[in-house]
Structure 1
Amino acid sequence: MTTGLLISAIRSGAGKTTVTLGLLAALARRGIRLRAAKAGPDYIDPAFHAAATSAPCINLDSWTMPPPLLQTLMARAAASADLIAIEGVMGLFDGVPAIDSRSGSSASIAAQFGLPVILVLDVTAQSQSAAAVIRGFATHDPSVRVAGVVLNRVGSERHRRLITDAIAALNVPVVGAIPRDAALALPERHLGLVQAGEHGDLAKRIAALADMAETHLDLDAILALAAPIETSPARSNTPALAPPGQRIALASDAAFSFIYPHLIDGWRDAGAEIVRFSPLANEAPPADCDNCWLPGGYPELHAGTLAAATAFRDGLAGFAQTRPVHGECGGYMVLGEGLEDADGHRHAMTGLLSHTTSFAKRKLHLGYREAKLLADSAIGSQGALIRGHEFHYASLTDIGRDQPLVDMINADGQPLPERGGRRGHVTGTFFHAIART
Structure 2
Amino acid sequence: MVSVPAVVIAAPASGSGKTTLATGLIGALRRAGHRVAPFKVGPDYIDPGYHGLAAGRPGRNLDPVLVGADRVVPLYQHGSRDCDLAVVEGVMGLFDGRIDENHSGPVAEGSTAQVASLLGAPVILVVDARGHSQSLAALLHGFATFDSGIRLGGVILNRVGSERHDQVLRAACARVGLPVLGSLPRMAELEVPSRHLGLIPAVEHGVAATNAVAAMTDLIAAHVDLAAIAALSRTTVSGPAWDPIDELRAAGTSSATAPVWAGAEDAAAGVAPVLAMAGGPAFTFGYAEHRELLLAAGAEVAVFDPLHDDLPTGAAGLVLPGGFPEEHAAALAANTPLLRAVAQQAGAGLPIHAECAGLLYLTRALDGHSMAGVVDAEAEFGPRLTLGYRDAVALADSPLWRAGERVRGHEFHRTRLISGAAADPAWGWHGSQGERVREGALIHRVHASYLHTHPAGNPAATARFVAAAAAFAGARVPH
TM-score band, normalised by the shorter chain? over 0.9
Deviation at 1:162, TM superposition (A): 0.7
Counterpart among 31, 41, 44 of residue 42 in structure 1: 44
Instruction: Kindly provide the CA deviation profile for residues 340-359 of structure 1, in whole angstroms up to 9, marking residues without a partner as x.
Output: 1xxxxx11211101122111
Match of 2:277 among 231, 234, 250: 250
Alignment of 1:291-306 (within 5 A): 291-306=317-332
Match of 1:187 in 2: 193
Q: How does 1:320-339 map to 2 (within 5 A)?
A: 320=346, 321-339=348-366
1:45-64 aligned at under 5 Å gives the runs: 45-64=47-66
**Amino acid aligned to 1:200:** V
Match among 70, 73, 76 for residue 71 of structure 1: 73
Matched, 1:401 2:407: no
Aligned pairs (5 A) from 1:89-108: 89-96=91-98, 97=100, 98=103, 103-108=109-114
Alpha-carbon deviations, 1:366-412, whole Å to 9, x = none? 000122112222432222222120111111223432111111246x7
**1:27-426 counterparts in 2 under 5 A?**
27-96=29-98, 97=100, 98=103, 103-197=109-203, 198-232=205-239, 237-238=246-247, 246-284=273-311, 286-320=312-346, 321-340=348-367, 346-359=368-381, 361-409=382-430, 414-415=434-435, 417-426=437-446
Whole-angstrom CA distance in 1 between matches of 2:17 and 2:50 = 14
Name the CA distance, whole Å, in 2 between partners of 1:399 and 1:134: 52
Alpha carbons 1:28, 1:53 under 8 Å: kept: yes
Once the 2 structures are TM-superposed, how far is the Cα of residue 161 of structure 1 from its aligned partner?
A: 0.7
Identity within the alignment, %: 38
Aligned CA RMSD, in angstroms, stands at 2.3
Q: Which residue, 422, 432, 451 being the options, matches 1:431?
A: 451
Aligned-pair CA distance for 1:274: 1.1
**What CA distance in whole angstroms lies between the structure 1 residues aligned with 2:26 and 2:154?**
17
**Aligned partners of 1:154 and 1:160 also within 8 Å:** yes
CA distance in 2, matches of 1:45, 1:87: 9
C-alpha contact 1:353 1:426 (8 A) present in aligned 2: no
AA aligned opposite 1:432: H
Kindly indicate whether the alpha-carbon contact (under 8 Å) linking 2:354 and 2:447 is maintained by their aligned counterparts in 1.
yes
CA–CA distance in 2 between the matches of 1:418 and 1:31? 51
Alignment gaps of 5+ in structure 2: 252-259, 268-272, 460-479
Q: Which residue of 1 aligns with 2:462?
A: none
Quote the Cα distance in structure 2 between the aligned partners of 1:370 and 1:264: 24
CA deviations on 1:126-172 (whole Å, 9 max, x unpaired) are 21111111110111111111111001111111111111112202121
Cα 1:208–1:233 shift into 2, 3 Å: closer
Is 301-310 or 132-141 further displaced after alignment? 301-310
Q: Does 1:3 align with 2:24?
A: no
Tell me how far apart the structure 1 counterparts of residues 217 and 68 of structure 2 sit (CA, whole Å): 35
User: For the Cα contact (< 8 Å) 1:296–1:331, is it kept in 2?
Assistant: yes
Contact preservation (8 Å) 1:379, 1:433: no
Secondary structure at the counterpart of residue 363 of structure 1: strand
User: 2:72 touches 2:115 (CA, 8 Å); kept in 1?
Assistant: no
Distance 1:414 1:72 in 2: 35
CA distance in 1, matches of 2:421, 2:458: 28
TM-score if structure 1 supplies the norm length? Answer: 0.92
Inter-partner Cα distance in structure 1 for 2:72 and 2:22:
21
TM-aligned CA distance change 1:189 to 1:112, over 3 Å: same
Deviation, 1:327, is 1.2
SS at 1:364's partner residue? strand
Q: Give distance in 1, aligned partners of 2:438 and 2:327.
A: 23
Distance 1:149 1:418 in 2: 45
Would the alpha carbon gap of residues 234 and 251 (structure 1) be closer, same or farther in structure 2, given more than 3 Å must change?
closer
How big is each residue's C-alpha offset from its partner over 1:61-105, in whole Å with a ceiling of 9 and x where there is no partner? 111111332222111123221101100011110012346877010
The one-letter code of the counterpart of 1:428 is A
CA distance in 2, matches of 1:335, 1:364: 21
Q: CA deviation at 1:287?
A: 4.3
**Structure 1 CA distance, aligned partners of 2:240 and 2:402?**
28
2:349, 2:445 within 8 Å by CA — same for their partners in 1? yes
Tell me, in whole angstroms, the C-alpha distance in 2 between the residues paired with 1:329 and 1:227: 37
- 1:316 alignment partner AA: V
User: What is the match of residue 343 of structure 1?
Assistant: none
